[in-house]
Chains A and B, each alone.
Chain A
Amino acid sequence: MILEARDIRKLYGAYVALDGVSLSIREGEFVSIIGPNGAGKSTLINVLTGVLQPSGGSVRFKGKDIGGIGTVALTRLGMARSFQLVQIFPELTVLETLQAAVVSRLGRGARLFASLAGDSQVQADALEVASLFGLADKAHALARELPQGDKKLLDVASAFALRPEIILLDEPTSGVSTADKHAIMEILVGAAKRIGLRAIIQVEHDMDIVFGYSDRIIALHQGKLLADATPAEIEADARVVDMVVGRRRH
């Protein structure tokens, strides 16, 4: 068990955003969290990534309580994330973005007078991640000049460059053309294998992606856990299909 949430409740005043959600992520799993808008997905992500302190229940990552410990601390522990709305450093190049992640992972950020260009480990690591994500030939392009699909890849790649044990992807293919979605997912899954990720959690709306890549699907509805099962079981569950998945075309 890498990540375990038990009976999570989150209240905003009188509004119940999460109502007793429990889930666990095991070694080697690719888990998707689905649910309509307002189901509590964003709140759940914020609780799982240590941004929010749950009002009740506990979240444990590698056995350690991470409720509200904050993004930086969680990164140190070995969990990374990407964002639904793509987050990049507009004025940095692809390589610089990845270097920043490597510098942070190696704890070299406070080296005031060391030469970044002369740090061969940082350089090599960043370049390796760039080629893993097919960004090597754009290594010196500014992030803000990249096409949308590459920005999305860079956001994910920089999270990978932290070499986390577990990664949480918030709609990794949102805002990307249908044609690019599968290409991005293939790159991502391939990179995860190479880097030795222990688990991937993603929140996703695109059911083709969800059913195409998940080992397990967790469905939320109105702050409650609706289902936690394999894709095949979910597809056979008329209730979940009606409330969350919708009719899929094959």
Chain B
Amino acid sequence: MRTPVVLSLVGIAFLGLPVLAPAYYVTLMLPFMAYGVVLLGLNLLFGYTGLVSFGHALFIGIGAYTGAVLTTHLGVRHMELILPAAALAAAVVAAPVGALCVRYVKIYFGMLTLAFGMVFYTFLLKFYKLTGGDEGMRMLRPYLLGSEWPGFSKTAYLIGPYYYFSLAVLVLATLLMWRIVRSPFGLCLKTIRDNPLKAESLGVSVPRYRWYAFMISAVYAGAGGALLATPTGNVDPTLAYWTHSGNIVFMVLLGGFSSFFGPLLGAFAFIFLQDTVMSVFPYWRLIFGAVLAFIVIFAPGGLMGLFARGRRPVEVSRA
């Protein structure tokens, strides 16, 4: 197995990065790690359960705004409290939303999730007094491990303590997801993805398991959203906009939805590619749109699929 070797090398690189790499690249790692958490959850829905949500930015938004409200209005500054609160808020919203959405599949599931996402977006935009409208809200620098890290400048804080904190959260999220997809529960999700009719005949309650998967993915998106808010320092309604939902699905596809680590690779590639492209050419969407079209048409297995050519081809044809 090459995987443990690759993972150890990646792990060492991540640990050493703040010491070795320029601060700029270290700060780019922060959104990568936040999106990594989001995408692990999204892919439980996409790659493992076979449902594509076009409204998942809703839960990123909920997580991010939870962080902002807690730090600026309620005086809760400990990240160890903010993350569970963000995850909980996402779960509370996902429970009814998911229960309604999982009754539908394919295009109807996508449309319904998109509509719910836009409801939240419009709420954030229009209810100015509560949400700050299009300007959004500030996310104050959270305490980590009980400390304010007083001696640290903004950048030093982000590339030091906050970097390692994010890394720890990402590693924890990855380990938990690794267990989930290898559990009896994960197997049930895969049966639903492959053939819901047959899954039902084996006694797997399809709507219930879809709902569980939806909730878990929302919890991940909520936590990731809160993690994302700190480096930005500000949260605004575009976090919940439908194109943001589209972009995170794009990231999953870019890395490879049929591989466990594909989404993480996708987030990494997306963030750094976007940065590189934008530094030479302001119209990154043009390039990224072309990349997405290329992947959809020629390489539906994403980057992971390209690396693993011939090992286990991806089946994407209409069932």
Measured CB to CB, the residues of A under 8 A from B are: 71-72, 75-76, 80-83, 87-92, 96-97, 99-101, 103-105, 108-117, 119, 122, 142, 144, 155, 158-159, 162
Q: Evaluate contact between B195 and A90: CB separation under 8 angstroms.
A: yes
Q: Evaluate contact between B184 and A72: CB separation under 8 angstroms.
A: no
Q: Evaluate contact between A90 and B176: CB separation under 8 angstroms.
A: no
- Report B150-202 residues with CB < 8 Å from chain A CB: 176, 179-180, 182-188, 190-191, 193-195, 197-202
| Contact sample, A vs B, 5 pairs, CB 8 Å cutoff | A75-B202, A90-B194, A111-B184, A116-B183, A116-B187
Name the prevailing secondary structure of the B interface residues: helix
Provide the bound-state CA to CA distance between A122 and B184, in Å. 9
Complex contacts, A81 vs chain B, CB 8 Å: 201
Q: Name the distance in Å between B248's Cβ and chain A's nearest Cβ.
A: 23
Complex contacts, A114 vs chain B, CB 8 Å: 183-184
Complex contacts, B180 vs chain A, CB 8 Å: 112-113
Cross-chain contact of B190 among A96, A101, A105, A119 (Cβ < 8 A)? A96
Q: Evaluate contact between B184 and A108: CB separation under 8 angstroms.
A: yes
Complex contacts, A103 vs chain B, CB 8 Å: 184, 187-188
Q: Name the distance in Å between A141's Cβ and chain B's nearest Cβ.
A: 12
Residue among B184, B190, B199 with most chain A CB within 10 A = B184
Complex contacts, B199 vs chain A, CB 8 Å: 89, 100
Q: Name the distance in Å between A47's Cβ and chain B's nearest Cβ.
A: 16
Q: Evaluate contact between B184 and A101: CB separation under 8 angstroms.
A: no
Does B204 count as interface, using CB distance less than 8 angstroms?
yes
Complex contacts, B315 vs chain A, CB 8 Å: 90-91, 144
Q: Evaluate contact between A76 and B183: CB separation under 8 angstroms.
A: no
Complex contacts, B212 vs chain A, CB 8 Å: 110
Provide the bound-state CA to CA distance between A155 and B258, in Å. 24
Instruction: In the A-B complex, list the 9 residue pairs whose CB atoms are closest, starting with the nearest.
Output: A75-B203, A89-B194, A87-B198, A104-B203, A103-B184, A71-B200, A109-B188, A108-B184, A113-B179
Provide the bound-state CA to CA distance between A129 and B212, in Å. 29
Q: Evaluate contact between A72 and B197: CB separation under 8 angstroms.
A: no
Binary per-residue interface labels of chain B (195-229) against chain A in the complex, 1 for a CB within 8 Å, 0 otherwise: 10111111111000100100010000000000000
Cross-chain contact of A71 among B187, B195, B201, B216 (Cβ < 8 A)? B201
Q: A88-B195, A89-B194, A92-B190 are in contact. Are A80 and B201 (CB under 8 A)?
A: yes
Provide the bound-state CA to CA distance between A189 and B279, in Å. 69
